[in-house]
Amino acid sequence: MDTKHIELNNKIKQKNKDGFYNLESDIEAIKKYKISIVHPNYRNEVSQFKRISRLIDEGYYNPKLIKLYTETQIKELDDYAKSFNFKFKSYMSIKKFFEDYATKSNDRKEFLENYEDRVIVISMWLAQGNMKQAKELIEEILTGRYQPATPTFQDAGRYNFGEMVSCFLLEMDDNLNSIIYNLGTSMHLSKLGGGIAVNVTNIRSRGESLRGVKGVTAGVMPVLKLLEDSFAFANKMDQRNGAGAAYLSIFHWDILEFLDTKKINADEKHRLQLLALGVTIPNKFFELAKENEDIALFAPLTVRKAYGEHLSNMNIDEMYDTLKNDDRVEKQFVSARKLLLKISQTQMESGYPYIVYLDTANKYHPLKDIGKIKMSNLCTEIFQLQETSNITNYFKKDEIKRDINCNLGSLNIVNVMESKDIERTVSRATDSLTAVVELTDIKIAPGVRKANKEMRSIGLGALNLHGYLTKNKIFYESKEAQEFASVFFAAVNYYSIKRSSELAVEKNFKFRDFDKSEYAKGTYFDKYENEEFLPKLKKVKDLFDGIKLPTKEDWMKLKRKVKKNGMYHAYRLAIAPNQSTAYIASATPSIMPITSMIESRTYGNSTTYYPMPYLNKNNQLFYKSAYHMKQENIIDLVAKIQPHIDQGISTILFVDSDASTRDLAKLYLYGYKKELKSLYYTRTRNKKIEECEMCHA
């Protein structure tokens, strides 16, 4: 096997005569990969129409695809796609695409698609015969302005392979039927390629009663083990591993045992290796920690027996003292500060648990009078209302309520800004995500299906923020970066709402209970009536030169339009981690800072290097590693963006191995103070005595 392409890529780290990285070697690696890997193994056809027809006959593409377009139209789309002269910008990008995204023969020996082929099929499928929309999506993807998320990018137009939806959120009730139902649903969804998160807060704790017998229940631990085994077993044909998370309230009796499952020295019978963990934390906990008081951990079954309500449905801030003083409610007490430090210690060791600032999420929830946010997803950017289905008996009619699903896609900030037209890409991306909503009908998950039909939720995000800042020689931790991010995402929010309202008219559909939302009341628009999100700093003004940004007057006009016409989507914006698709787009992931100017990834027995986009000798200082940044500054930037995002933002913390648990706990408190909705993974780096990259590059 020819490995010259890997060797060329690995030469990046070798310095040129000027002492800088040998980035030209990465371009040579792309060429060599095409010659030695792609060209010999790519199945050529005489035309795009013949290619699609053959792959339908062989069972790779959905048969409906060919019925939506004529042969002439397919040739037109093919010619249009080729006119963009797409080129991969990094070795990682081309390698990632052909290994993980391109359709391959069942024996994995042939590539049945190149990049343009995949984009054409995605656009044809999502446009469902609409040539104008198909061309628009081809343009947005091939110009690099919009990047669909992995499930859509992999599966659109393919036959019997998986869903285009990125993530699903389920809630268990405290009975065996519900547990079995959710385990089965999780396995089906995992098989389709989605990430699944399950709220287990309603499950009775260890030692509670069962059928009147006290002290016999095993708590959430066995359920967690079943979930972990389910995700490991049900994967997407080995193309995408099953991935899941479990969320538990910090006031649940089993919270200590829950956290202990990630301890390095945990007993193997209790250790969770693959399942991600998340903790939902109301404000009351932080108040108790601040006052150095003990926290009461409640037995959920006794709460429900006393008040007829699940712990996850309660407002703990309001009910805490009542529950604590009620003798009917069983409880145990631990130090709030020690529990906070235990969370940080667990994160230092494992990266988990994720943290959801539950009250902040509900405080800024545009649908707060319709339902409550109870948890988040596998990557902590999805925040939607959730209800508990009443799964009583499979042979009777169950009371199915709304779970959560969300399909994702990302704006490439660099290319959107350079196009000078934010509205165009936001509108087209919204249309693309809307098509995924309308083409999704997952009957095996009735709660998900119900929510999709009634809420039409999408999650438009972004990538390449650090890349854009570096290209324009702006430091990530600067005031200019904060102002740029705030102005950009305010505009994205505006054009997203505008397009959603237009779609409500075009499709004659408003999401369920729109009239109860903050959009219908007009209160959602208060912040834009009170403050104008336009650039003030000269550097930032220059960046937005020639780009139409919404003024206060525009926002007030939009407010009136929305109240009159409604909105198609209950939820619109969510910024995911998007690491994998960032490689495809040759971008920096999400809105997070980079960790290294030359990132390394080990696949099998080889290492691939990924140079950050636009990197050169003159801008390298602006690619400061996240590990060298003050983490409060990262949180500050996220806090500038969050008010414009109706859902959430995956926010990663980057700490060195010598950081103390107290330091990490302070960051949790700082995130709470800055009104973030969540903190995602904590990445810990083994600290070595070495020069920083900016100094020795």
Active site residues: 377, 379, 381
C-beta pairs of 515-524 under 8 Å, 24+ apart in sequence: 516/367, 516/369, 516/370, 517/366, 517/367, 517/369, 517/370, 517/567, 517/570, 518/366, 518/367, 518/368, 518/369, 519/366, 519/562, 519/563, 519/567, 520/562, 520/563, 520/566, 522/559, 522/563, 524/366
The first and second tokens of residue 96, run together, are 């990632």
Structure tokens at 543: 């960046």
- And the tokens for 217? 């229940």
Q: CA-CA distance, 465 to 412, in Å (whole number)?
A: 8
Q: What does the alpha-carbon distance between residue 321 and residue 325 come to, in Å, rounded to a whole number?
A: 6
Instruction: Extract the tokens encoding 285.
Output: 């906990």
Q: Which of 300, 301, 259, 251 is nearest to 278 (CA)?
A: 259
CA torsion 202-516-511-553 (nearest 10°) is: -130
Q: What are phi and psi of 605, to 5 degrees?
A: -110, 20
- Whether 163 contacts 193, CB under 8 Å: yes
Three-state DSSP class for residue 198: strand
What is d(CA 16, CA 239) in angstroms, rounded to the nearest whole number? 38
DSSP 353: -
Element (H, E) at 14: none
CA dihedral sign of residues 48, 53, 54, 55: positive
Written as six digits, the tokens of 379 are 């990557």
* Interatomic CA distance for residues 567 and 573, integer angstroms: 14
Q: Which helix (H) or strand (E) holds 301?
A: helix 300-307
Is residue 21 within 8 Å of residue 15, measured between CB atoms? yes
Residue 571: name the closest of 383, 360, 431 by CA: 383
On whether the CB atoms of residues 376 and 648 are closer than 8 A, the answer is yes
CA 120 – CA 75 distance, rounded (Å):
10
- List all residues 6 or more positions away from 320 whose beta carbon is below 8 Å from its beta carbon: 251, 284, 296
Angstrom distance (rounded) from CA 694 to CA 576: 28
Amino acid at 627: Y
User: Rg of the chain over CA atoms, in angstroms?
Assistant: 25
Q: What angle do CA 551, 554, 557 make, to 5 degrees?
A: 155
Closest residue by Cα to residue 3 from 585, 11, 597, 20:
11
Strands, E assignment, 129-194: 146-148, 167-171
